Amino acid sequence: MTGIPLLPAVTVEFFGSALAILFSFFALRYAWALVRLQPNNFIWGFLFYFCVAMAAFSLSRGVGHMIRIILVYSDNAATWRQLSPFSGGFNTMLMISAAAVTIYYHKGLQAYKAIRSEAKKLADVNIQLEASAGQLQQLNSHLEDIVEERTRNLSESEKKFRNFFENSKDIIYFCDINGNITNINTSGIELLGFKEPLETVNFHELFDDSRDLEKYLSELRENGFVSDLEMECKGNNGNARHILLTANSIYTQEGEVIGCEGIGKDMTRLRTMTEQLINHEKMASVGQMAAGVAHEINTPLGIILGYTQLMMDDFEEQSEAHTSLQVVERQTKACRRIVADLLKFSRQADSAKTPLNLNEIIQEVLAVTEHSLNINQVKVIRNFSSELPRIIGDSEKLHQVLINLFNNAQYAMDEGGEITITTEKQLNEVRISVQDSGSGISDDIKNKIFDPFFTTKDVGKGTGLGLSVTYGIIQDHDGRIEVESPILDIQSQKTLKGTAFHIWLPAISSSKDSREEL
């Protein structure tokens, strides 16, 4: 008889039965460990009894299989036939036990959950009662400490707010429903130029433009707040300030508006820089246009001048025709000078730059102009830095810049005055300031003074190109020029009458200066 060999299957059955016994007793051991760890845990108790039943079943069934295999293969099959009914019955009884434990689990689990739920509720109530009792006891025993701690926290909070209020560089203010200022920080007082607290000042009166005030009030009424409102503000010192304002209405508990609070950021410097940037772009465009116009005009002017000079040789010097040609020659040369200024303004002329000491350049210009200034009752005050670094520049063009500034300062002081010239090092730059005590420059023309052909001088006394050329030369030297009028004295913090032109030029390091000299 042929067929599949039974030895592998019998071997697997034999050792599988042994492993089943082994694993069931391992599970029983771990279940016993869990019961010992948590004796009152229902789940671990059920698991332990279930593992007992399964271990007994696995032992009975596995031993029965192993005995059957041994007896059959040792030619004692008759003995197994006698024992097999007892083995099967014992296995059935153990299986019924495991089923009974399982059935008991479902009923017992429901009861266990119900008991645990009620016990948990009672435990939670006890915990809450204990916590409440502890809080009451702590409140009774530490009431004074709690009040002291709350007072200390309020004091620290008020101190933080006060520090922020006083040390902020922005305007922080509070006012009532009518706009009367009830509180304002130090920065606001200083910015608006008031010496006394502003409780007697109405905030609405600080608006320079009534339209800004109307927008401010309407947004507070409609929205309850104002966000990033740009306004012009004039303080007690008369200086206009550009303020970016944010404010909120203050309400009572009933929702009634009783005032407002706000923060104002001084944007004057940013606005000035923006205007200067726009002006720089405009000057660059005008410079390009001026260069083209100058080149176009220069050629016909040269031809007119040449022919005029040739024709003058054909007439006697005292004749009417010769005199008329002299007028043509003189006016043509004047036109050529204007064209030359335009070319300088547009930076089209060649530039020879070398290391220079600005103090020496200023002294050279004063050697020529100071006598004329003294005749016109103008006193020159020198504040030169003795440790001024050198710059790279064109001495001839810088001479022209200083001459233009000195002439403008003299023109602004009809009855005499003072010109203060200051040089100093600021970081990696050299600053030159030319300050006069004249009438000053009004705000409405301050941003136009560097425009070509703009002048406040009478007809015939200026072409309006002096400051334009100055601006172009400073730009060509990678510097910048700014005008200040009126002048804020840093030491005394007083506002002085007059105008100051500040020029910054890049300084060169001492090592680079030494290489240039070599």
- Sorted by where each begins, the domain ranges of the chain are 7-136, 156-266, 272-345, 354-517
Q: Which helix (H) or strand (E) holds 410?
A: helix 395-411
**Of 53 and 246, which is predicted with more confidence?**
246
**Residues 91-109, mean pLDDT to the nearest whole number:** 63
* pLDDT score, position 162: 67
> What SS3 class is residue 294?
helix
Model pLDDT, residue 103:
61
pLDDT band at 101 (very low <50, low <70, confident <90, very high): low
Verify cis geometry, omega within 30 degrees of 0, for the bond prior to 452: no
Q: What is the per-residue pLDDT for 19?
A: 78
Any residues with CB less than 8 A from the CB of 73 and at least 6 apart, and which?
10
pLDDT at 459 over 50: no
Which pLDDT band, with edges at 50, 70 and 90, does 83 fall under?
low
What digits encode the pLDDT tens for the residues 195-206? 655 566 787 878
Query: Measured in Å, how far apart are the chain's first and last C-alpha atoms?
Result: 118
Pick the more confident residue, 33 or 160.
33
Burial class (CB within 10 angstroms; exposed 0-12, middle 13-18, buried 19+) of 505: buried
pLDDT digits (tens, 9 = 90+) for 173-225: 888 888 888 888 877 777 777 665 556 678 787 888 888 888 888 888 888 88
What pLDDT sits at residue 348? 47
pLDDT score recorded for residue 439: 80
Average pLDDT over residues 253-269: 81
pLDDT score for 432 = 92
**Between 3.30.450.20, 3.40.718.10, 3.40.50.720, 3.40.50.150, what CATH number should domain 156-266 receive?**
3.30.450.20
Over residues 122-158, the pLDDT tens digits come to 778 778 888 877 777 766 666 667 677 777 777 777 6
Q: Does domain 354-517 have CATH number 3.30.565.10?
A: yes
Q: Which of 334, 367, 376 is nearest to 465 (CA)?
A: 334
Q: Provide the CATH topology of domain 272-345.
A: Helix Hairpins (1.10.287)
Residue 379 pLDDT > 70, yes or no? yes
pLDDT(338) > 90: no
If one counts every other C-beta atom within 10 angstroms of the C-beta of residue 50, the result is 19
- For residue 382, what are the contacts with CB-CB under 8 A and spacing of at least 6? 421
Q: pLDDT above 90 covers what percent of the chain?
A: 4
pLDDT value at residue 460: 42
pLDDT at 505: 92
Mean pLDDT value across residues 282-292: 63
pLDDT for residue 423 = 92
**41 vs 283 pLDDT, higher one:** 41
Nearest Cα neighbor of 68 from 56, 55, 82 is 82
Averaged pLDDT, 3-9? 63
Q: What is the mean pLDDT of residues 42-69?
A: 72
- What is the pLDDT of the chain when averaged over all its residues? 75
Q: Is the per-residue pLDDT at 421 higher than 70?
A: yes
Residue 260 pLDDT > 80: yes
Q: For position 344, what pLDDT does the model report?
A: 59
Residue type (1 letter), 105:
Y
Torsion of CA 272, 277, 278, 281, to 10 degrees: 160
